[in-house]
């Protein structure tokens, strides 16, 4: 039966009866201690006795305390307590309206607003975006609640009043967007300060410090996602939440600590995977993992072994994850054939007139066109299976346990997508088996270290040789060679196009990066038979 029981037959009760009938309820009955009428079937205290006849009920009482009290009584009695919204009201699909709340005629509830239970939003009231109305409040006739406001529980906003947001100054929050993000994730009223964090090329990252008994403590990492690179932030965050939540289960089965061994991403106060600021830029947040360290380059050989084992273990833990469910958030990210095509177009167009400054580097790529298709062709033939891959397996995307020195947690998960094991393996080699920084200007310092390669092979296969196929194992040396070539090609392409993708510190920065990668490719080509033999040694 599509019947509704209303506690309170006064003015608000009669209004809600009209709303209920207008949105499809067939019959409405009341409980009221004083009023009389054919549709009043008992006292308020009879709500428990009526549970056998009614499964749906609301409390329509003008007094905030009483409306909240009876709404919670109905919820405790296991009634379905719906929100009632007048057909003329405008409610954003991203707004959250909780049990027993009423949105009356021509009221407006804007984007990402959260309304708790037993709230009354009266006729003509406007609640702007990202506001939070706590339980039992009353937003009066024609009143306005500005964006990012919080109306406390049981508060009444009188008719026609305007509520403005009040915010405290947060040290380090030097933009409105950063401040909005802090409030969106619930830190605005409590965090001590924020400051830039990390050394990533792509996203804008901040450390969020919270007060504790020991003083201010780094507690969260807040990032603005670069939509020039990741133009599907919803897909990125769906991938991240899916994989990290799956990882937590896998880690528990292994007897590990999921709060330290995978990133724990935080939803906004509105329950969303990320916050979108007024300029449409997405922000996301995760818990900082204490007592961990991150290295920008290999300082001791053991670190490289640990990174290899960590990335291999990551691939193994996700072996049963439904790879087809992942969003390909950067299409063809490691499609070396298409990366070559993009370079070739940039080379031919030369829109920044930079080809003359890098002809040798361009010729280097052009001569290796045939190499670019080797792994892609095996994938297309089904020889190499798609797996859940990280796609940015640099040493600095691993947190190490500060006490034990062991690999602890894989970070920077933006590029999790379907991919080849060889790609993840190869990206680690091109970054970690180099004797110099990625942007070292003196190429005499840049060499491919075959012993570091050997150490990485051992660590990676210690974690994966029982899950990788024979063809995958044999593809690993090609992964090292082609990921290095691909990365250098990407740096060179970005240089030719005017440095629109990677962050740069000076005009030739991307060209310098490309040169280091090409030097490594040259040396890998000379050592290639030895690279293949090392892999065979560890899987036979």
Q: What tens digit of pLDDT does each residue of 128-184 get?
A: 998 999 999 999 999 999 988 999 999 999 999 999 877 778 999 988 899 999 999
8 Å CB contact between 400 and 408: yes
Spatial distance between the Cα atoms of 20 and 39, rounded to a whole number of angstroms: 14
Q: Do the Cβ atoms of 515 and 357 come closer than 8 Å?
A: no
Start-end of H helices in 127-223: 176-184
Question: Which regions in the chain score pLDDT beneath 50?
Answer: none
Quick count: other Cβ atoms within 10 Å of Cβ 451? 11
Q: Which residue has the tokens 């009760």?
A: 13
Residue 366: CB atoms within 10 Å: 12
According to the model, what pLDDT value does residue 488 have?
A: 97
362 CB contacts (<8 Å, ≥6 apart)?
347, 355, 492
- Between the alpha carbon of residue 339 and those of residues 77, 89, 273, 513, the distances in Å are 61, 50, 31, 16
Q: Residue 540 carries which DSSP code?
A: -
Tokens at 161, concatenated? 């009043």
Q: Where are the domains of the chain?
A: 3-163, 176-266, 293-539
DSSP, residue by residue, 95-109: -EE-TT-EE-TT-EE
CATH class, range 3-163:
alpha beta
Contact 352, 496 (CB under 8 A): yes
Class of domain 293-539: alpha beta
Say if residue 531 is exposed, middle or buried (CB neighbours under 10 Å; 0-12, 13-18, 19+).
buried
- pLDDT at position 169 is 84
Q: Please tell me the predicted confidence (pLDDT) of residue 501.
A: 85
């Amino acid at each position: 039966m599509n019947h509704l029981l209303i506690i309170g037959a006064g003015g608000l009760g009669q209004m809600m009866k009209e709303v209920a009938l207008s949105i499809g309820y067939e019959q409405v009955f009341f409980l009221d201690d004083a009023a009389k009428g054919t549709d009043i079937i008992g006292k308020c205290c009879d709500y428990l006795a009526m549970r056998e006849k009614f499964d749906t009920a609301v409390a329509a009482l003008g007094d905030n305390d009483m409306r909240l009290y009876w709404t919670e009584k109905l919820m405790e009695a296991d009634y379905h307590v719906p929100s009632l919204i007048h057909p003329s009201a405008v409610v954003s699909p991203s707004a959250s309206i909780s049990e027993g709340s009423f949105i009356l005629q021509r009221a407006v509830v804007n984007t990402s607003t959260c309304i708790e239970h037993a709230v009354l939003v009266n006729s003509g009231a406007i609640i702007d975006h990202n506001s939070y109305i706590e339980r039992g409040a009353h937003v009066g006739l024609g009143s306005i609640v500005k964006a990012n406001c919080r109306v406390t529980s049981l508060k009444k906003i009188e008719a026609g009043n305007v509520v403005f947001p009040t915010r405290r100054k947060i040290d380090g929050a030097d933009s409105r967007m950063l401040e909005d993000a802090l409030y969106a994730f619930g830190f605005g009223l409590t965090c001590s300060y924020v400051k830039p964090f990390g050394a990533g090329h792509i996203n804008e990252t901040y450390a969020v410090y919270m007060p504790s008994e020991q003083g201010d403590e780094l507690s969260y990492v807040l990032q603005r996602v670069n939509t020039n690179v990741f133009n599907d932030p919803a897909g990125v965050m769906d991938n991240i939440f899916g994989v990290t939540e799956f990882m937590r289960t896998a880690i528990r089965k292994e007897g590990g600590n999921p709060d330290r061994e995978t990133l724990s991403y935080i939803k906004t106060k509105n329950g969303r995977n990320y916050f979108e600021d007024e300029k449409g830029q997405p922000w996301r947040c995760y818990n900082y993992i204490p007592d961990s360290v991150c290295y920008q380059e290999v300082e001791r050989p053991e670190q490289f072994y640990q990174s290899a084992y960590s990335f291999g273990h990551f691939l193994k833990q996700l072996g049963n994850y439904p790879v087809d469910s992942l969003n390909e958030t950067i299409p063809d990210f490691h499609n070396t054939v298409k990366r070559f095509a993009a370079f070739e177009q940039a080379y031919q167009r030369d829109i920044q007139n930079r080809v003359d400054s890098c002809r040798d580097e361009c010729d280097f790529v052009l001569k290796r066109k045939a190499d670019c298709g080797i792994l892609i062709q095996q994938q297309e033939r089904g020889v190499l299976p798609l797996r859940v891959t990280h796609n940015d397996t640099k040493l600095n995307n691993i947190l190490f346990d500060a006490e034990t020195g062991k690999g602890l947690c894989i970070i920077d998960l933006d590029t999790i997508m379907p991919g080849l094991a060889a790609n993840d393996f190869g990206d680690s080699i091109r970054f970690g088996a180099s004797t110099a920084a990625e942007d070292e200007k003196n190429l005499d310092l840049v060499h491919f270290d075959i012993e570091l390669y050997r150490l990485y092979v051992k660590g990676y296969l210690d974690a994966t040789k029982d899950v990788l196929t024979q063809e995958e194992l044999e593809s690993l040396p090609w992964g090292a060679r082609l990921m290095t070539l691909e990365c250098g090609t990407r740096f060179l392409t970005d240089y030719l196009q005017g440095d629109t993708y990677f962050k740069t510190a000076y005009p030739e920065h991307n060209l310098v990066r490309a040169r280091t990668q090409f030097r490594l490719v040259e040396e890998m080509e000379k050592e290639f038979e030895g690279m293949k033999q090392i892999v065979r040694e560890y899987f036979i």
